[in-house]
């Protein structure tokens, strides 16, 4: 499988556009079930209560013990510890032989099926409405670029770091799940299968192999997306008015694990190379989006088409995020790392509680604390906030055949710098850092760093 980086995607920097979230009446899985919803809302409180009221040697795997009484009550759904062993005998969608995992299999009533599964697995119900499952991957064969596999490893390590810091699960797929859905189309069968494999997750977050987290603290503002099923970095006017195929980027997207998404992916994948309509779609997409310069139907332009042309059908559930780097164009980002580090160090030098040494596990709290000091930082282009996701569009780390727009050095140096910039945020908790972003060497971090009085 090859990610969208295998395509000579161009990209540019559209102006920041405010996008108001449209309200609609999506029947929410959780809001329709008061019990589950309340369970989620009170789980934090109950967590505290549970730890206060249980004897220290109490076995928290309540649901395993109460197997016979697996009735989905509020009480069991608030069990804060996911039970990784319990799979009650009551039939779920997994027992339906007609229900398949491939992109060609039709699923109906998925929302109900997921809900039933959650009712049988109450330990996963608490927090399910916010649960994110990250999916990424690369091709089944070795990279042609001699350092390609090394780069992919570092890109993957970065995603694992981000997931560990925020308690997300991650799946790396390197098998071509549909033999004809190659290159940038390969991700849809993976996302489709992941939805079936992870009914406990509300969101599947696809992140291309050539994208990395350059702000390890930032979290997706899920509240903003509560009425939407697909979130993508994009700019409405570029899609609707300019009809530009780069009005969005399909390399990173957040898609809700629900029936709408299955239907949408079916429509989306219907433009792919596995269908007899592939050539026809190539022509349609090219004549609709005049700046598309290659004849093949691609997922990114296909998505732009569904938003622009089939807009009554889909667009009101698609959130075009442009207020922060949901995925950002590397070329406008990689030059800003040093100045950003300086600003962050400046803040930490002044604020003792931010520079206090701490366990990696409690890092999220420090991210929250830091927000107070980032009010002026802005977001996106020209900002001194750490860019959330840096995407090396067109650099093609695996094949090495980067877009001619860029020099190889710009790509490789940019990746190295971004990877080390991100790694510094991780290694900090282990007591080390890369003092120079282009150099993989590390030094130890002095106590009370970066207080100006502490000696390196
Ligand atoms: C970094 O900061 C310096 C000094 O303030 C400034 O001259 C330079 O333009 C900044 N670089 C970038 C890429 O913003």
Res 29: pLDDT = 39
CA-336 nearest atom, ligand 1: 13
SS3 217: coil
What pLDDT is attached to residue 408?
A: 83
Average pLDDT over residues 263-289: 96
Indicate the Cα dihedral angle 330, 333, 338, 339, nearest 10°: 180
Which is the closest atom of ligand 1 to the Cα of 339? 1
- CA R_g for the chain: 23
Determine the residue of 339, 344, 387 to mutate for testing ligand 1's pocket, defined as the one with the most ligand atoms within 8 A of the Cβ atom.
Answer: 339
Overall average pLDDT of the 282-302 stretch: 96
Q: What is the pLDDT averaged over residues 25-51?
A: 39
Give residue 387 CA to ligand 1 midpoint distance, Å.
16
Closest Cα to atom 3 of ligand 1: 339
339 lines ligand 1 (CB under 6 A): yes
C-alpha 313: how far from its chain's center?
Answer: 25
Tens of pLDDT, residue by residue over 373-395, are 999 999 988 899 999 999 999 99
Residue 70 has pLDDT above 70, yes or no: no
The secondary structure of 47-61 as a DSSP string is: HHHHHHHS-TT----
- Give the residue with greater pLDDT, 25 vs 454: 454
CA of 24 to the centre of ligand 1 (A): 44
Region 429-452 average pLDDT:
95
pLDDT in tens, 352-363: 999 999 999 999
Task: Please determine, for residue 80, whether its predicted confidence score (pLDDT) is greater than 80.
Answer: no
Q: Report which protein residue has its CA nearest ligand 1's atom 8.
A: 339
Ligand 1, atom 4: nearest CA belongs to which residue? 339
pLDDT band at 454 (very low <50, low <70, confident <90, very high): low
347: pLDDT strictly greater than 80: yes
Residue 65's pLDDT band, with cuts at 50, 70 and 90, is very low
Is the pLDDT assigned to residue 316 strictly greater than 50? yes
- What are the residues facing 136 on neighbouring strands? 172
Cα of 306 vs centre of ligand 1, distance in Å, is 41
Residue whose CA lies nearest to ligand 1 atom number 6: 339
pLDDT for 53: 39
Percent of residues, the chain, with pLDDT higher than 90: 78
**Dist. CA 311 → ligand 1 center (Å):** 42
Asked whether the predicted pLDDT for residue 399 surpasses 60, the reply is: yes
Q: Residue 23 above 90 pLDDT? A: no
Ligand 1 pocket, residue 346 CB under 6 Å? no
Question: Residue 126 has what pLDDT?
Answer: 87
The pLDDT value recorded for residue 122 is 94
40-43 long-range contacts (CB < 8 A, ≥24 apart) are: 40/125, 40/126, 40/127, 40/128, 40/129, 40/130, 42/78, 43/78, 43/80, 43/126, 43/127
Q: Tens of pLDDT along 235-264?
A: 999 999 999 999 999 999 999 999 999 999
Question: How far does the centroid of ligand 1 lie from the alpha carbon of residue 339, in Å?
Answer: 6
| pLDDT for the residue 4 | 42
For position 58, what pLDDT does the model report?
A: 38
Q: Is 336 in the pocket of ligand 1 (CB under 6 A)?
A: yes
Averaged pLDDT of the chain: 86
Q: What is the mean pLDDT of residues 426-435?
A: 98
Q: How far is the CA of 335 from the centre of ligand 1 (A)?
A: 9
């Amino acid at each position: 499988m090859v990610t969208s980086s295998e395509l000579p995607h161009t990209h540019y920097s559209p102006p920041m556009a405010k996008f108001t979230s449209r309200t609609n009446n999506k029947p929410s899985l959780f809001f329709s079930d008061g019990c589950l919803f309340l369970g989620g809302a009170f789980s934090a409180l109950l967590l505290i209560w549970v730890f206060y009221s249980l004897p220290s040697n109490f076995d928290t795997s309540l649901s395993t013990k109460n197997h016979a009484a697996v009735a989905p009550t509020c009480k069991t759904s608030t069990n804060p510890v996911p039970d990784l062993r319990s799979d009650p005998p009551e039939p779920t969608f997994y027992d339906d032989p007609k229900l398949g995992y491939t992109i060609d299999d039709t699923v109906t009533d998925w929302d109900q099926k997921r809900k039933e599964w959650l009712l049988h697995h109450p330990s996963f119900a608490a927090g399910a409405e916010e649960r994110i499952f990250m999916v990424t991957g690369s091709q089944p064969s070795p990279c042609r670029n001699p350092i390609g596999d090394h780069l992919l490893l570092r890109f993957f390590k970065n995603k694992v770091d981000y997931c560990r810091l925020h308690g997300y699960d991650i799946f790396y797929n390197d098998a071509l799940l549909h033999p004809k859905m190659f290159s940038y189309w390969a991700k849809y069968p993976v996302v489709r299968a992941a939805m079936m494999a992870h009914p406990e997750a509300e969101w599947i977050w696809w992140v291309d192999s050539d994208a990395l987290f350059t702000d390890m603290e930032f979290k997706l503002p899920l509240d903003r997306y509560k009425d939407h099923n697909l979130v993508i970095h994009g700019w409405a006017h570029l899609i609707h008015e300019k009809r530009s195929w780069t009005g969005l980027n399909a390399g990173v997207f957040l898609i809700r694990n629900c029936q709408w998404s299955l239907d949408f992916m079916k429509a989306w994948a219907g433009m792919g190379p596995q269908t007899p309509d592939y050539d026809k779609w190539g022509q349609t997409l090219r004549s609709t989006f005049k700046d598309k310069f290659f004849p093949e139907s691609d997922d990114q332009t296909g998505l732009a088409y569904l938003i622009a042309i089939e807009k009554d059908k889909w667009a009101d559930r698609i959130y075009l995020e442009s207020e922060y780097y949901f995925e950002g164009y590397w070329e406008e980002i990689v030059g800003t790392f040093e100045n950003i580090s300086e600003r962050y160090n400046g803040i930490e030098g002044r604020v003792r509680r931010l520079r206090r040494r701490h366990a990696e596990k409690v890092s999220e709290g420090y991210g929250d604390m830091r927000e107070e000091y980032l009010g002026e930082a802005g977001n996106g282009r020209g900002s001194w906030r750490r860019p959330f996701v840096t995407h090396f569009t067109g650099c093609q780390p695996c094949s090495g055949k980067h877009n001619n727009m860029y020099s190889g050095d710009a790509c490789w140096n940019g990746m190295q710098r971004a990877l080390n910039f991100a790694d510094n945020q991780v290694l900090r908790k282990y007591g080390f850092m890369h003092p120079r972003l282009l150099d993989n060497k590390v030094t130890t971090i002095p106590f009370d760093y970066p207080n100006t009085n502490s000696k390196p």
